[in-house]
Amino acid sequence: MKIALAQLNYHIGDFKKNIKKILHAIQRGENNGVDLVVFSELTISGYPPRDFLEFNDFVDECNLAVEEIAKACTQTAAIIGLPTYNHNAKGKPLFNSAAFLTGGKVQSLTHKTLLPNYDIFDEYRYFEPNTSFTVIKFKGKKIALTICEDLWNIQDNPLYILNPMDELMPEHPDFIINIAASPFNYKQVAIREEVLRKNAVKYGLPLFFVNHVGAQTELLFDGGSLVMNKAGEIVDEMKFFEEDFQIYTLEEIANVSRKNHLERPTEIALIHDALVMGIKNYFGKLNFNKAILGLSGGIDSAVTSVLAAKALGNENVYNVLLPSQFSSSHSVFDSLQLVENLKMRYDIINIEKAYDAFDYSLKPYFKGLRFNIAEENLQARIRGVILMALSNKFGYILLNTSNKSEAAVGYGTLYGDMNGGLSVLGDVYKTQIFELAKYINRHNEIIPENIITKPPSAELHPNQKDSDSLPDYAILDKILFEYIEQRKGPKEIIALKYDEVLVRRILKLVNTTEYKRYQTPPMLRISQKAFGMGRRMPIVAKYLS
């Protein structure tokens, strides 16, 4: 049996485009004598459709689409994901389903059993879990068809009381197919491989895994679809961050060992490629192609600019330098060197006169109080106003350049440097940004070395450095990681030999600045716990504040 895996980039709710991609893949399979083309979870709708699933019109469009696609499955069969209606009197209104298409129609539906309801997942909000289990019989073979999470209850800390594969094994399946929407984080590739390996080994069956690829707002899907033999060895792995289509022969998969030693990208390379894809897809799916950002001479804006240039093309990134009377000369010089290296468009707009005008207007009402954060934030907001004005005038999307370390402790100005349509680095710690810069410069110097080596500074008052307000990033980021990603409390973090006063100060900053993060643009998710849809915290709360 010849099986093709179609790893495609879908657009949520763009039924016409999604159908066209799917039909093209089925035709490609047919042209190559393929028996079965396998697509990913919720293919027709795109993943995650979220509250679009509350509209019958949306679900109806999905089901009309699968009927249209089924008509093309006369020579080649297909497995394809979509939401379907639950016609039972009780339970949630929908199932997360996989349709088996052959003979020109939908032959059967397999529903997802294990519905994740943690981090970015909300599936139990919409879907009813499956309670009946049967294999798909096709061309003399029995297929154990599972949907993403259905294979994930095999780890040391099971979340569910049921394991779908245990229910299917009495029917003696010949192989496993898992269609998935498995979002990227820089640890996920290894974790996912281990989960799939455990399934192949436990059940002694070859396994075909097909994943989404592409960005859906802040969620990034890396692809990495793969095929394993029954020993849990990867026979082949598909591309990361790109569409791919590969054909396999079941008999060969069942008998061959690992095809090659897999040379996977490093974590920082994966993060780099994920962010580039995230920018590219965010713009492309919104029908925009030009970005604007404030280029400060610091490492965050420099890395953002380079990533945007890789995603959109150098000519489509507009860098605006916005120096004030507090800006150092090297900030402008370093920024100019960067835009020259990549031949990007730029302008210099000095904000000193605008600041003086605001200072003059506010002086009577500031009542002679000394210069403080009010004047610092005023500069950031002037910059934000200018960038948004240019965005409105010329139709650019403003890229936010703040990092996760800053976002965590509230080191940013609402309606100023926290402006933007998309936050590129909002899930990337400062220490990781230094690694990204070095990775970008691995072949030649794109980001000027001085930007990487000079002490970070917001340059909102004379001789300012980030270290005046924050602990050293090497320490700050480790404490933040333990609290945000590892969900450790203050006592547990202090037990790791961190200073108690410092730990409690940092955790208080994180919790008391939650209100700021509620007002930030979507942040491209690259970690196991990102700010945004996967981390839900109350604003008006007392814990650790």
Rounded CA gap, 193 and 228, in Å?
10
Contact 290, 393 (CB under 8 A): no
Q: Would strands 234-237 and 226-228 be described as parallel, antiparallel, or unpaired?
A: antiparallel
The answer to whether residue 435 is catalytic is no
The answer to whether residue 73 is catalytic is no
Q: For 312, phi and psi rounded to 5 degrees?
A: -115, -15
Of the candidates 112, 310, 430, 529, the residue annotated as catalytic is 112
SS3 per-residue string spanning 52-121: HHHCHHHHHHHHHHHHHHHCCCCCCEEEEEEEEECCCCCCCCEEEEEEEEECCEEEEEEECCCCCCCCCC
Contact 369, 341 (CB under 8 A): no
Closest CA to 114 of 139, 80, 151, 83: 151
In 401-448, which ranges are continuous DSSP H helix?
404-409, 430-440
| Count of Cβ atoms closer than 10 Å to residue 248 Cβ | 18
E-state strands within 401-502: 422-423
Rounded CA gap, 492 and 481, in Å?
13
Of the candidates 21, 62, 123, 148, the residue annotated as catalytic is 148
Rounded CA gap, 45 and 98, in Å?
12
- Helix, strand, or coil here: 36? strand
User: Residue 424 to residues 297, 346, 454: CA-CA distances in angstroms?
Assistant: 17, 19, 22
User: Residue 411 to residues 380, 403, 462, 466, 498: CA-CA distances in angstroms?
Assistant: 12, 10, 18, 9, 21
DSSP for 290-318, please give it: -EEEE--SSHHHHHHHHHHHHHH-GGGEE
Quickly tell me which residue has 């070395």 as its tokens: 449
Contact 232, 214 (CB under 8 A): no
* 8-state DSSP, 130: P
Angle separating helix axes 56-70 and 15-31, nearest 10 degrees? 20
The answer to whether residue 148 is catalytic is yes
Of the candidates 41, 128, 406, 459, the residue annotated as catalytic is 41
Active site residues: 41, 112, 148
